[in-house]
Amino acid sequence: MVICVTGKIATGKSTVSQFFAQRGFEYINVDKLGHIAFEMNKENIKQTFGTCDRKEIAKIVFADPQKLKLLESIVHPTMMRLLKDELETRKGKDIVIEAAIKRRLGIDCCDITITVVCDKKVIKERLKERYDEDLVEEILERQSDIEPEGIVIENNSSLEELQSQLEKIYQQIKAKG
């Protein structure tokens, strides 16, 4: 079984994914594949954007939708190749894939999709130590295509509440078998 966990930044995708990993699912983080794909395409990125510093690239692409599309055209094909390889090596096992931009990447190997959602103010609160508010707004704007699909989990409250929701979902998945 392949479960895909999707959602916007700071909604709790990693926590949800780790819940399943702790129950024996093999874990694939598409963000990590993106970092590898970035490194593999560093020269092309530097030629295209004048830098290959990830923080600088983030500022450039989150401020301009066309530049984001350009970066994606460079790294997404590599990410999908890496994902395909990861899936191939885990064939026949239960897998959880954490992929914020599942739909944008065209990931279609999921038996179940779980979308983690939360209020914008909760996202901003979770990110206030990491990013300034303007960057958070830009990131959320660029993630506007991340729409709820499959099983939707609202994660606005405590970790205990999230765990309780996940336990119910896990039991339903196990029962279906």
| Gap between the Cα atoms of 147 and 14, Å rounded | 18
Q: Binding residue per annotation — 177?
A: no
Give the model's pLDDT for residue 62.
84
Q: What is the mean pLDDT of residues 155-172?
A: 96
Give the sign of the dihedral formed by CA 76, CA 79, CA 84, CA 87.
negative
pLDDT at residue 105 greater than cutoff 70: yes
| DSSP, res 150 | S
CB 100 within 8 A of CB 13: yes
Comparing 117 with 55, the larger pLDDT belongs to: 117
Q: Binding residue per annotation — 58?
A: no
Q: Binding residue per annotation — 10?
A: yes
Q: Binding residue per annotation — 51?
A: no
Q: What is the mean pLDDT of residues 94-98?
A: 98
> Which domains are assigned to the chain?
2-176 (3.40.50.300)
Comparing 166 with 130, the larger pLDDT belongs to: 166
pLDDT at residue 177 greater than cutoff 70: no
Using DSSP bridges, classify how beta strands 95-98 and 26-29 pair: parallel, antiparallel or unpaired: parallel
- Mean pLDDT rounded to a whole number for the chain: 95
Q: What is the mean pLDDT of residues 22-39?
A: 97
The rounded Cα 8 to chain-centroid distance in angstroms is 7
Instruction: State both tokens at 140.
Output: 């959320």
Share of the chain above pLDDT 90, in %: 89
Band (pLDDT 50/70/90 cuts) for residue 35 is very high
Give the model's pLDDT for residue 28.
98
Give the model's pLDDT for residue 63.
87
Q: Binding residue per annotation — 12?
A: yes
Residue of 63, 156, 73 lying closest to 116 (CA atoms): 156
pTM greater than 0.85: yes
pLDDT at residue 8 greater than cutoff 90: yes
Q: Binding residue per annotation — 78?
A: no
